[in-house]
Amino acid sequence: MRPPDLDATAADRFEVGLENTRRYGDGTQIEYLADDTAIKAKCGLITGDLKGWTGVFNGNAGWVEAKRSMEVLGAYCSEHGVKFISGPSGVMKELIRDPQTNAVLGVQAEDGSQHLAKCIVVATGAWSESLLDFEGQLFSGAYGFAHIQLTKEETEKYSSMPVLHAPNIGYCFPPTPDGIFKIANLTYTRTNYTSVNGRLVSFPRDRSLHPTDTLSEEGIAECRQIAQACLPELGDRPIIHSTMCWDTESIDFNWIVSPHPSSPSSLYIATAGSGHSFKNLPVIGKYVCDCLEGRLPEDLRKTWRWRPDKVEGAPQLSRVDIKDQHGWRHDGRSEKEAV
């Protein structure tokens, strides 16, 4: 949906996204909603005042349960011979390089163990920049998510609603079977800049290491906006859970799937999801394999290449450092302290 006060940049992205969906998807499933009356006719559950809004309904759109998807994928990989290493022996400390040629030979883990291999793929998401110098091509950022608990009756009521998404306001999903209603805001990305090996990088605060972290007070208020606009009866309900979801954003929102120039025969990069990549879970592996085998189509190779030459002059995403927000840290320390 498109609010009437949408800024020019976001409005342009909305129109480009719509045109791409028509061009590359099934245009027969796209329905333009010219005003608030048309929006509410398509989704009768919307009760908010949407005067001046327009919208698009995409009958081909959908969503998946991310956690369950990863569980299924992990089980499939294990059944087909993939070995997962966790704990200190599975946490990368640094790359092992040949002292003569600088070629990458493997990975040294936190506990000192070494994993040697002919081919190393760095597919480390939000941790990428803390492990390897990407020369400004990407940074780690977090978006805000919060959960509202619905009653059994409300869960049944809202179960038929579509995903609602409004640029610069947020989006929400139909509730889970146990009544969890997810709201999110993507107005800006949160950073956590700190010094790592002499470089200033945005360092993710993973929930496995910082289990008490929540979304900031500012972030929770922003997440509420989509519900307050579309479903005001839910807009001020208690938040039972909130979190910062860390991702890696590239300068142009395209992936980096490429050999690394320091060791092009043994070190490969597959990262920079840029907030739009989970939908590619069933197919992305094929393209990473094509990269390793030198078979990527030329247009994709150019788009996903290692590209520090593109950094200068690249547009900057709206960012706020978490040290400048309030109420997200619950480990007895101030948000202003080193994180």
In this prediction, residue 109 carries a pLDDT of: 97
> What mean pLDDT do residues 246-260 have?
95
In this prediction, residue 339 carries a pLDDT of: 62
In this prediction, residue 5 carries a pLDDT of: 86
> What mean pLDDT do residues 210-233 have?
96
**How many CA atoms, within 13 angstroms, populate the side-chain half-sphere of residue 326?**
3
Average predicted confidence (pLDDT) for the chain: 93
Q: Which CATH code for domain 119-338? A: 3.30.9
> What mean pLDDT do residues 310-332 have?
91
Domain parsing of the chain, residue ranges: 1-61, 119-338
In this prediction, residue 338 carries a pLDDT of: 55
DSSP assignment string, 35-55: SHHHHHHH-TT--S--TT-BE
In this prediction, residue 168 carries a pLDDT of: 83
Q: Are strands 55-58 and 30-33 parallel, antiparallel or unpaired?
A: antiparallel
DSSP assignment string, 287-337: HHHHHHTT---HHHHHHSS--GGG-TTPPPPPEEEGGGS-S---SSS-TTS
Q: Is residue 139 over pLDDT 90? A: yes
Spatial CB neighbours of 19, under 8 Å, sequence gap ≥ 6: none
Residue 202 tokens read as: 């945005």
> What mean pLDDT do residues 102-111 have?
97
Q: Is residue 203 over pLDDT 80? A: yes
Q: Is residue 233 over pLDDT 70? A: yes
- Which range, 19-33, 93-107, 205-219, is most confident? 93-107
In this prediction, residue 275 carries a pLDDT of: 86
> What mean pLDDT do residues 160-185 have?
93
